[in-house]
Amino acid sequence: MLIVIRNALAVLPQGDADVIGRHTIYINEDKIVGIDERPADFAEEDAHIIDGTDRLVIPGLVNAHTHTYMSMMRNCADDLSFMDWLFNRVDPIEGKLLPEDAYWGSLLGQIEMIRSGTTTFNDMQMHIHQTTKAVRESGMRAVICRGLVGGDYDRNDIRLQQALEEMEEGRECSRLSFRLGPHAPYTCGPDYLRMVADVAKEKGLGIHIHLAESVTESENMRKDHDCTPIEYALSAGIFDVPTIAAHCVQLSEKDIKILADHNVSVVTNPASNMKLGNGFAPVPEMMAAGINVCLGTDGAASNNAQNMFREMGYLSMIHKGTHATPQCIGAPEVFRAATINGAKALGLNTGSIEKGKKADLAILRLDVPSMMPNNNLLAALCYSANGSEVDTVIIDGRIVMEGGELKTIDEERVYSEIRSMCSRLGL
């Protein structure tokens, strides 16, 4: 489909900075084919025109760590300690889920993400088939990571075998890619992690893992293995393949150096970490060490939202507050963590508005109080916007929401299915 976004303010990269200027953007099929210059073979009369008056175009946000199906568990495990939350509340609900519950839960999460300008998510879960079905329908871009837990070096591990088979099902959809998702050091023995790393290496797959999320995890790791969770993952060979590590809250200086030296991308999840009482990741320190820091919401059972604007707000505020230094992280770094850094970590040709890149864009209204006046729009994106400004979303060159109306998902049906599922599960 040909699309022209005419004469809109847009956030474009210029060297290491993002600069806002007025541009016309041309989209053909799945790509941005021109910025200001109409390509010779582009027939504008056949194109869908989007008027850019009072609009801001941004690269679609990349939610680099979540569990979308858990949106059906929103607000049912609150104000609990991390281990109590996970083992006594979330795990028992997981045990009762039917496969289609994950499908509807994922769609619910995706509605919230599209409505707040997210175009890509990196998902860890055990329901690949259901999630890939939901992604095919919603039009979102996703990296699907099968959650894996185990103790032994077992190449016939049932979850791993299922993961490899289910990945094949999704291969034909260009918006889908796959990684292996060993859950965490406290649910994966060293031999099992070594096996997952070996399989990832052989199959050319990346890894997505939770690391150093809580004090309890770090204390138990010290007691049982006399190392940090980062050192544990390093010695299992996890960092020998492209790895995305979620959380990384409890880090030593040596841990930060290990992550930097091995080009591990770290996803920070400020809302989830605060809500579960896990503390604050050393984000300014990781950025200073050259680590590619991305931003994620984590699942709605711990956040309890899938809204990257809310997350950008937290990321920009908490480190200024905890470091008592307003300069330690600024709007430009926060915006990059929510866009290009996530795309880089996931190996995607998205995350910025550039000719030749995949057309994953969100268009925000500027004629709303949160964005008015339009003094510094990059600051507005991080400090003022709440996601409700998102008006139109384009993913892979396809309009999935226009004028606030979702084009790909029947919202009422999803809400009705979620209501009956929650009543069946007694939530």
Nearer to Ni ion, 298 or 311 (CB): 298
- Under the criterion CB under 5 A, does residue 213 sit at the interface with Ni ion? no
Smallest distance from Ni ion to CB 315, Å:
16
Binding residue (CB under 5 A) for Ni ion from 18, 30, 298, 360: 298
Closest CA to 176 of 127, 133, 143, 128: 143
Q: Could you give the 3-state DSSP secondary structure of residue 241? A: coil
Site stretch for Ni ion (CB under 5 A), options 104-112, 291-299, 304-312, 341-349: 291-299
Interacting residues of 355 by C-beta distance below 8 A, sequence separation 6+: 32, 33, 34, 35
Query: Hey, which residues does 63 pair with through a beta bridge?
Result: 121
Site stretch for Ni ion (CB under 5 A), options 108-116, 226-234, 290-298, 311-319: 290-298
Nearer to Ni ion, 68 or 392 (CB): 68
**Is residue 228 packed enough to be buried (19+ CB in 10 Å), middle (13-18) or exposed (0-12)?**
buried
d(CA 343, CA 296): 12
CA atoms within 13 A on the CB side of 78: 10
Site stretch for Ni ion (CB under 5 A), options 235-243, 278-286, 293-301, 349-357: 293-301
Q: At what angle do helices 190-203 and 158-170 cross, to 10 degrees?
A: 30
Nearer to Ni ion, 66 or 339 (CB): 66
Nearer to Ni ion, 298 or 417 (CB): 298
Q: Please give the distance of CA 72 from its chain centroid, rounded to a whole number.
A: 18
Smallest distance from Ni ion to CB 306, Å:
12
Nearer to Ni ion, 27 or 207 (CB): 207
Closest CA to 191 of 133, 219, 149, 243: 149
Site stretch for Ni ion (CB under 5 A), options 126-134, 154-162, 190-198, 297-305: 297-305
Closest CA to 70 of 97, 116, 105, 122: 105
Query: Rounded to the nearest 5 degrees, what angle is found at the Cα of 269, between the Cα atoms of 268 and 273?
Result: 115
**Residue pair 141/395 in contact by the 8 Å Cβ criterion:** yes
Nearer to Ni ion, 245 or 286 (CB): 245
Count the Cβ atoms, other than its own, within 10 Å of residue 295.
27
Site stretch for Ni ion (CB under 5 A), options 31-39, 93-101, 167-175, 298-306: 298-306
Smallest distance from Ni ion to CB 246, Å:
5
**Residue pair 202/213 in contact by the 8 Å Cβ criterion:** no
Smallest distance from Ni ion to CB 278, Å:
11
- Residue carrying structure tokens 């008006």: 391
State which residue has the least CB distance to Ni ion.
298
- Binding track, positions 263-282, relative to Ni ion; x by CB under 5 A: --------------------
Nearer to Ni ion, 217 or 298 (CB): 298
Q: Give the DSSP letter string of 290-346.
A: T--EEE----TTTS----HHHHHHHHHHHHHHHHT-TTSS-HHHHHHHHTHHHHHHH
Nearer to Ni ion, 310 or 357 (CB): 310
Binding residues for Ni ion, rule CB under 5 A, total 1
Smallest distance from Ni ion to CB 2, Å:
39
Q: Which residues of 353-384 are buried (b: 16+ CB within 10 A; e: fewer)?
A: beeebbbbbbbbbbeeebbeeeeebbbbbbeb
Smallest distance from Ni ion to CB 272, Å:
7
Nearer to Ni ion, 338 or 366 (CB): 338
Nearer to Ni ion, 298 or 389 (CB): 298
- Under the criterion CB under 5 A, does residue 123 sit at the interface with Ni ion? no
Question: Contact positions toward Ni ion, by CB under 5 A?
Answer: 298
